[in-house]
Structure 1
């Protein structure tokens, strides 16, 4: 089939104007991670039948596909056409044309969320402590609590000794339980940088009275500092909001431009078929399984911010979040809005009939096709960890050169 083409300059213009578009890299993830445009999402050609209808909910949304000379575009176009997608274009000249136009190439995965995290730290000067400083505080039995904001399975694999698992969007909801004394210093950590920066700044934005710092460079930084990690821990933070947390979270969302809708207003939004709408339930998986609003996909808030290119590859789409307690949705929405999405939070709806059951989970790709992140597991080399940090430290400058992001920081 003959595809219409779109030039790199036209793609860039659409990004600058915030028009809806899914820019899709058709290579395997390992190849995608070697370099791609900032807002390109990975959808390997062999996974289109598995992923497209979940990740691309509007079938007439503009989709631009490319490869790097592998000849994947025609096959991808056939897959999309078979599924009913109607607006497919090929990036004229592929990734090589993007390079030749002088536009920025970003490596790794979840690149624009990571770049946004670096921008937040740069703009807000999010406080942090080194691994050596935190280890010293632990050794001296200082009044600190370490909150690990990664997924529970990541925490179980390895964690900072004594830390408690409080996945990202749960922080404002649970910090008052884990650190009830405002004199306690809260140290937020992830595996590297992004989630700890966003987590620490979430607590600061929400007005927690405690001193809050990020553990600089996370478990990777801890390893590079020759500190010992704990394994197979199972400490979970319970629900306990600090004073004023609910109102503060709402205020943070308001300042970011998040809009709140009642169920009737949500129905009007859902009826608009001219725009892509993503609907996410940002609660923990056990809450979702116990009862969730129909049509909402499960995606815990902290991971949603980190993996927004995977969850919502249509740049310029609308996002609707739900959470029976409100706090998690408001804090998650505040970050997505700052990443230039049009974000809404639905209020209520949990008194009606709910769907019960576990979330739909996409099959994992073949391990040989997957990019091995230097911050996961326990086997990454020290050189790989350091190279990763060197890249992250340069992301703010790379954002400036790219110029398409539209991010702001409240």
Structure 2
């Protein structure tokens, strides 16, 4: 039986800072056009794949909402099937929330962006314009310019002369850079948040160099009439010596003490696991791949702070953070606690040995090869479950485009065998669970997906206008082209970002626990 909550009841729980989960089960494009401030997006198309990561505590009080069309009720049933015990649906969905007079927020990763804006106001984080940055670059001795985003973003575009070094890794590896203490350091991102948080992290840590965030990042550079550098190769992250690692540990202990951050040892982690807390490794991709604590989720510091809602769907979440010497975990805890979470640093956490937690999933579909599909020809119905934009760019001729919450739309067109094309076999399995038993009996997954079909020389059909924009509920059209030279989109985005704080009501503002800090050279 579905349990419901009214908009007022949910708002009261949020304003009371209760430890609750909040999930928007609509697709990404719908979510980005307007959602509750602290909602994480867990689209119904990927629900059972994503929910165990976003909500490890299956006994927690969890709220779901949609657009009032019944998807949230279907999602509640699915979560109950995989062990969630206390799931409630917002009665009337997003429309009921708005009708009650409560606000919604466009865009993604909004709480993290609000944090950056609040910190900039509280700390007056130093910034530098594109013009001033260019002048500094011409001076003898110059400056050190860093792009604080992940490598994939750096490759897409960056400010000329910038070096790739993600936030979090910056403080951790600062000693290995060997910079003169009087050399200015400038950090930029694509907009504002990561630049502001990256600079404020160094200031709070007591770094002696003059430090600045580049105003409005790559978009500010482009809006000033300057060209961005594209197609960049990210150099390997600088290695630390054994001495520098030990010095970093001592620094982490001072930072933890300075800001009164809670720290635990490996022996205390099992109790956190028993309570289904988040266990997150914040090291680099390469370090995590080389070895990690079993069961830990990987979220590099820069992304965990910048996009917290993509890993944590609980308010006041309990989060245990792992790294090697404590610097990155302490920095992550410092910012996550300002987002209202109960984040702790696990010192010596990599010594922990634990069992990976099992996750129940529907049985996977059987596969079909590209050769077998070609032999079936028109006798099979091919359904493409990839993103709407990937489908537009090229799909198997005659393939239908579909998405799980609207599976009913294609059922009438199914004839013969069904072959599902997806980037993830799990997505295909979940879509298949929406089909009736007769159709499901002859439903298979294309092995290797569209990549394998293309490699095999299969024919490709391009449909730039199909699916139509109103059907492409997975794609966020909101200023989506701001990184591809659309300056008007960049202006709109920056106006949106700087206006977020003004949208907060009193209850939402109180959820942020901003720590007023000053530079501490003795940290």
| Normalised TM-score (structure 2) | 0.72
Q: Which residue number in structure 1 is paired with residue 221 of structure 2? A: 222
Contact 1:8/1:98 (8 A) holds in 2: yes
1:314 aligns with 2:420: no
Shift of residue 179, structure 1, vs aligned partner: 5.2
1:405 aligns to what? 511
Q: CA RMSD in A?
A: 2.5
Task: Write out aligned runs for 1:248-267 (5 A).
Answer: 248-267=251-270
Tell me how many residue pairs correspond in the alignment: 400
Contact 1:188 1:213 in 2 (8 A): yes
Contact 1:374 1:384 in 2 (8 A): yes
Question: Could you say which structure has the larger radius of gyration?
Answer: 2
Match in the other structure for 2:329 = 329
Q: Distance in 2 between matches of 1:190 and 1:405?
A: 26
Query: Which aligned pairs between 1:278-297 and structure 2 lie closer than 5 A?
Result: 278-297=278-297
Report the counterpart of residue 87 of structure 1 in structure 2.
86
Identify if the C-alpha distance between structure 1 residues 68 and 372 changes in structure 2 by more than 3 Å, giving closer, same or farther. same
CA contact (8 A) 1:116 1:407 kept: no
**SS at 1:175 equivalent:** helix
In structure 2, what is the equivalent of residue 347 of structure 1? 347
CA distance in 1, matches of 2:81, 2:288: 32
Distance in 2, matches of 1:237 and 1:175, equals 11
Q: Does 1:78 align with 2:184?
A: no
**Which is further off, 92-101 or 113-122?**
92-101
The answer for the alignment partner of 2:493 in structure 1 is 388
Aligned-partner Cα distance in 2 for 1:145–1:186: 5
Q: How much does 1:406 deviate? A: 3.4
Q: Give how far 1:84 is off.
A: 1.7
Structure 1's 85 and 145: CA in aligned 2 closer, same or farther, altered over 3 A?
same
Q: Partners in 2 of 1:298 and 1:262 — Cα distance?
A: 19
Residue range with higher mean Cα deviation, 204-213 or 216-225: 216-225
Q: 1:357-400 deviations in whole A, cap 9, x for unaligned?
A: xxxxxx98654513257588842521111111111111222235
Change (3 A) 1:320 1:404: same
What are the ranges of 5 or more consecutive residues in structure 2 without an aligned counterpart?
357-384, 390-471, 517-523
Tell me how far apart the structure 1 counterparts of residues 279 and 345 of structure 2 sit (CA, whole Å).
Answer: 10
d(CA) in 1 for partners of 2:92 and 2:353? 50
**Which deviates more from structure 2 when the two are superposed, residues 245-254 or residues 6-15?**
245-254
Q: 2:479–2:492: 8 Å Cα contact kept in structure 1? A: no
In the other structure, the counterpart of 1:360 is: none
Q: Distance in 2 between matches of 1:115 and 1:385?
A: 18
SS in 1 for 2:18: coil
Partner SS state of residue 89, structure 1: strand
Please state how far the C-alpha of 1:338 moved relative to its aligned partner. 1.2
CA distance in 2, matches of 1:163, 1:246: 28
**CA separation of 1:400 and 1:90: change in aligned 2, threshold 3 A:** closer
Alignment partners' CA distance in 1, 2:86 and 2:312: 18
1:6-405 correspondence runs (5 A): 6-178=5-177, 180-231=179-230, 232-239=232-239, 246-271=249-274, 273=275, 276-351=276-351, 367=389, 368=472, 369-371=474-476, 374=479, 378-379=483-484, 381-401=486-506, 402-405=508-511
Change (3 A) 1:201 1:353: same
1:166-211 Cα distance to aligned partner (Å, 9 max, x none): 1111111122333520011000111111011000000000000000
Task: Give TM-score scaled by structure 1 length.
Answer: 0.90
Aligned pair in 2 of structure 1 residues 375, 146: CA closer, same or farther (>3 Å)? farther
Structure 1 pair 374/147, CA: closer, same or farther in 2 (3 Å)?
farther
1:329/1:374 CA distance change after superposition, 3 Å: farther
TM-aligned CA deviation for residue 163 of structure 1: 1.1
How far apart are residue 325 of structure 1 and its match? 2.1
**Contact (CA 8 Å) 2:22, 2:39: kept in 1 or not?**
yes
CA 1:375–1:256 in structure 2 vs 1: closer, same or farther (change >3 Å)? farther
